Amino acid sequence: MVYNVGVQQNISNRAVTPSFGAEKQEKRSKCENHDAIMVAEMKKHPISTNLKIQADKFVNACTKYPKKGLSGSKNANFYEFLTMGSVPYVVGSAMMIGVFNAASKFFDTPAAKNASKLGKKMGLGVLAYGLAKTASKKLIELPVKWKHGIDVNMPYKKVVYELPEEGNKDNLVTHEYHKVFESVDFPRWDLLYGNENFGPERNAYFEKVAKKMGMDDGDLEHADQKVKPKIKEKLVQTKVFSTLASYLWAGTAVGVAMQKPWESLKLGKGFVKDFGSKFVESCKQFVKNESKGATIAGRALLGAAVGVTLLGNFMTLFDFNKDKGSKTQASTSLIDNSKEKVVC
């Protein structure tokens, strides 16, 4: 009996006397940076913020990440490897265009003149491919954001704590740019809870999405559990159709860029006006070419791009299984609202 009292007294003393580990943990929690969604920045300056993110990733991919990888750094990771994948596309495209355009002026031959014309179209093709692929995704992603409140590209800044290395023992905190819904199976739900950018309530984001998706049945206490399955469903649909549409529109843009009118494009004064007229002529030629085969191919590619975009909007904006979220909630929730007790 005396032993039990001693144990209780000892436990009590431990509870009121903070240990060194607790003080250290408290100090760390106050000083430690955490991953943060860039909602405020994207609302105020969406274009400049997105450009800043892309520029930061590209600069690091050209300088910082290769150095870490080639030196055998233990802090090099898969994110850096994937980010470096953009460099060969840019460098390779520039070299390919340069070979046709820069070198042709030193040779006064018919072949060199033809190479120069081809170089112009190749340069426009690379530019058109990148712009069309990026812009066409917005044709599906933006309507989903406006109607359902789901931003599939919502960025967040991930804080990375690196291991100490020789010559780098002080600057051990760096960052990476990711997306909240980067993974459909494992989204960063934790970043959406209690975020003041969405409202004062802990479930403010999920309540907003539930209302936009017509799932407001008067009880949004467990809105997160109701809408999570629907968010995942919309993420899959949006990513599938936006990817398909982006490649079709990119192919269409390259086809337009390879048309004959671009060969006489003039640089310098009056470039904008000349570019506009050449673009219109090339679009017409793309769908009505001298070659019957080219005409059929051009119309088929354009029709497929438009068709997939329209189908993608139809599938993502309209809900054909409206009760799916509530049914999933009923089977996975640990709380029985009618009896207010835990269901075993």
Give per-residue pLDDT as tens, 245-282.
999 999 999 999 999 998 888 777 888 899 899 999 99
Q: What is the per-residue pLDDT across 42-73, written as a single tens digit (0 to 9) for each?
A: 989 999 999 999 999 999 999 999 999 998 89
321 — pLDDT class (breaks 50, 70, 90):
low
| H-type alpha helices, 19-109 | 20-31, 39-44, 46-62, 64-70, 78-83, 86-101
DSSP 157: E
pLDDT, mean of residues 84-91: 86
What sign for the dihedral angle of Cα 298, 301, 305, 310? positive
Q: Tokens standing for 314?
A: 């139809």
Predicted model pTM: 0.77
Q: Which of 187, 151, 142 is closest to 38 using CA atoms? A: 151
Distance CA 147, CA 238 (A): 13
pLDDT value of position 19: 41
pLDDT value of position 90: 82
Q: What is the per-residue pLDDT across 162-175, written as a single tens digit (0 to 9) for each?
A: 888 877 767 788 89
Backbone angles phi, psi at 231, to 5 degrees: -65, -45
15 — pLDDT class (breaks 50, 70, 90):
very low
Backbone angles phi, psi at 172, to 5 degrees: -100, 5
For 1-39, letters b (16+ CB in 10 Å) and e give eeeeeeeeeeeeeeeeeeeeeeeeeeeeeeeeeebbbbb
Distance CA 245, CA 236 (A): 14
| Better pLDDT: 292 or 108 | 292
pLDDT value of position 115: 75
105 — pLDDT class (breaks 50, 70, 90):
low
Q: What contacts 301, CB < 8 A, 6 or more positions away? A: 248, 251, 252, 255
Distance CA 93, CA 332 (A): 50
Q: Tokens standing for 175?
A: 């960052």
Q: What is the per-residue pLDDT across 229-238, written as a single tens digit (0 to 9) for each?
A: 999 999 999 9
pLDDT, mean of residues 20-31: 42
Residue extents of the structural domains in the chain: 222-335
Distance CA 27, CA 199 (A): 29
- Cβ atoms 155, 42 nearer than 8 A: yes
